[in-house]
Amino acid sequence: MLGGYAGRLLRVDLTTRTIRQEALSEEFLRKWMGGSGLGAYILATETGPSTDPLGPENRLVVSVGPLAGTPAPTSCRHEITAKSPLTGIFGESDCGGTFGAELKAAGFDAVVVSGAAGAPVYLAIVDGRAELRSAAHLWGKDTYATDEALRAEVDQRACAICIGTAGEKQVLIAAVLSGGTEGRAAGRTGLGAVMGAKRLKGIVARGTGRVQVVNPDALRESIRTVVPIIRENTPGFQSFGTAGSVVAFEQSGNLPLQNWRGGTWPAAANVSGQRMSETILKGQYHCKTCVIGCGREVVIDSGLSAGQKIAGPEYETIAALGSMCLVDDLVALSEANDLCNRYGIDTISTGGAVAFAMECFERGLLEPADVGGLDLTWGSAKAMLALVQLIGEAEGIGKVLGQGTRRAAAAIGKGAERYAMHVKGLELPMHDPRAFHSVTLGYATSNRGACHLQALSHGPEGRAPQPDLGYPEVLDRFADGGKGEMTAKMQNYMCMLDSLKVCKFVIFGKMRIPALVDWLNYTTGWNVDLAEFLTTGERIFNLKRLYNLACGVTSADDTLPRRLLTEPRPDGAAAGSLPDQALMLREYYQFRGWTPSGVPTPEKLAQLGLADVRIGA
């Protein structure tokens, strides 16, 4: 018996309206694991450089991991993979909640969607059966109304993922939302636009099946040992959510300010998780099997959801729409977060676009007439909210900004490219590589564009040493030597968490890698050791790199915006610090077994079992 897996994926062709099931072999699953690995393999072998991200030939892969549906804490996340319309390269995003558990219980490890429907549809999956249903009555509705309607039509116990009006309009920073007013988002790389192009309003899953665990007693005993450690080391997440880090990050020089120009911002305390708990916080929510509970429920007295419980803004949202724009109004940020969730747009890219527009306005590259008469002054909550609405509705300057800062800068011209803060077309998340130097490499080499989560290397530079990777003590965050090797190792590890679909907050909970390996083995009945575990992650990372190389990425794209490499923060704890990207990148390529131009060598591909993999169309 192979535990953990349903052993099947569901293929849906929207053009022909055909649905079929496909068996997954144990050999295949052990090689690609699930989640991100499974999505990467399907995307890499079925699409390629000629694939139009918004065309019917693109694949939308929704996948879960082998631990979904088991008691393993934080293991019910799901991954969405497609060629990104925002970046034109490998695209993926993940999300928490309950959808992963429901899809597994319904009998599938993944759903692969191709084609494009002639009219809006949604996919209903219930206990091994799937059907396409009309979504004409849902087209034009926001994500909250769509989620409520989908569950009412299929099963109130079901879980849905869906797009809002931004995805329908193919806004390139559109997200895929889940959980209704909890606002759980697969936000990055514009995958909501892919669903919109396919006229796929949502996917609903409901299952009553049980996931088999080969050694349930050992799994339960390991969980009993690990859970107290995670809880003991994550009190801040439990009490204040991710926003609890706002003040600490400002004090360490990690909080981005004024489109990455500033050094210190005393107003950070006004938008912190601590201030949230003192004012608008009304509750807390968890993903399925989560033992941390970082989700915040708030009530505000303005906006479309005034007086209702909605999701409180997370750290990334507060930084992107707050500190990046110098907006220190927590209620306005909560309203902006609610708007983003309703429209279905990525708060990180949205905040990056708003900050970019404010700097262009300040420098005279955008005139009031260009932005509908808005006064895009730094710190204006009114202007920030107006731009969020325009982006979500794809109107006016929002239609330009919603295509991402790279395209927006090209449209504006006049040297605006200098102020567009992205890597490979994806806006930067809210962690400053001048404060944690390894983040430089994490952003530059992430396969989906700028991303802190695909390496999470600031963990070993901060409060999460990794003894199992050879880093038992915290590293000097301003040092450059040795960071290439460490970042590569962390990327391999993150590929496994993304494939198991376990929340990365377990790292800050001081959970050790061998415990994850044990959970995998207890669930599946395998005998994976630490070396195979990390090699599998390395294989997945390299496959994504091969896909991007085929799509035209070169070593010249493995770089940060000029500002972060040449302009130090003017004051604060990271003042004067600049990372040596060239040094770290040379070390990184060498450790990875890549050529000096960033291409995996034939020897490395053979070692990882990738020599025979061919990128698709």
- 603 C-beta neighbours (distance < 10 Å), count: 10
What's the pLDDT score for residue 324?
Answer: 98
Backbone angles phi, psi at 91, to 5 degrees: -125, 135
Strand, coil or helix: 1:
coil
In residues, how long is the chain?
A: 617
pLDDT band at residue 1 using 50, 70 and 90 as cut-offs: low
Give the percent of the chain with pLDDT over 90. 99
Residue 208 has pLDDT above 70, yes or no: yes
Q: Is 393 left (phi over 0), alpha (psi -120 to 50) or beta?
A: alpha
**What domains can you pick out in the chain, each with its CATH number?**
8-206 (3.60.9.10), 236-420 (1.10.569.10), 438-508+529-607 (1.10.599.10)
Q: Averaged over 524-550, what is the pLDDT?
A: 98
- Return d(Cα 498, Cα 166) in angstroms, integer: 26
Q: Which residues contact 236 (CB under 8 A, 6 or more apart)?
A: 244, 245, 273
Residue 602 has pLDDT above 70, yes or no: yes
Residue 291 has pLDDT above 70, yes or no: yes
- Return d(Cα 18, Cα 22) in angstroms, integer: 13
Of the two residues 333 and 617, the one the predictor is more confident about is 333
For the chain, the average pLDDT equals: 97
Strand partners, 343: none
- Return d(Cα 345, Cα 192) in angstroms, integer: 8
Give exposure, 232-248, as e/b (b: 16+ Cβ within 10 Å). ebbebbeebbbbbbbbe
Strand partners, 20: 11
- Return d(Cα 155, Cα 100) in angstroms, integer: 16
Q: Over the stretch 87-127, which tens digit does the pLDDT of each residue have?
A: 999 999 999 999 999 999 999 999 999 999 999 999 999 99
* Distance, CA of 102 to chain centre: 20
DSSP H helical segments within 59-215, as ranges? 99-105, 143-154, 165-168, 191-197
What's the pLDDT score for residue 545?
Answer: 98
Nearest CA among 238, 221, 322 for reference residue 283: 238
What's the pLDDT score for residue 595?
Answer: 98
| The overall pTM is greater than 0.95 | yes
Q: Over the stretch 30-64, which tens digit does the pLDDT of each residue have?
A: 999 999 999 999 999 999 999 999 999 999 999 99
Nearest CA among 548, 550, 552, 542 for reference residue 603: 542
Question: C-alpha angle with apex 368: 366 to 373, nearest 5 degrees?
Answer: 140
pLDDT band at residue 502 using 50, 70 and 90 as cut-offs: very high
Q: Averaged over 7-33, what is the pLDDT?
A: 98
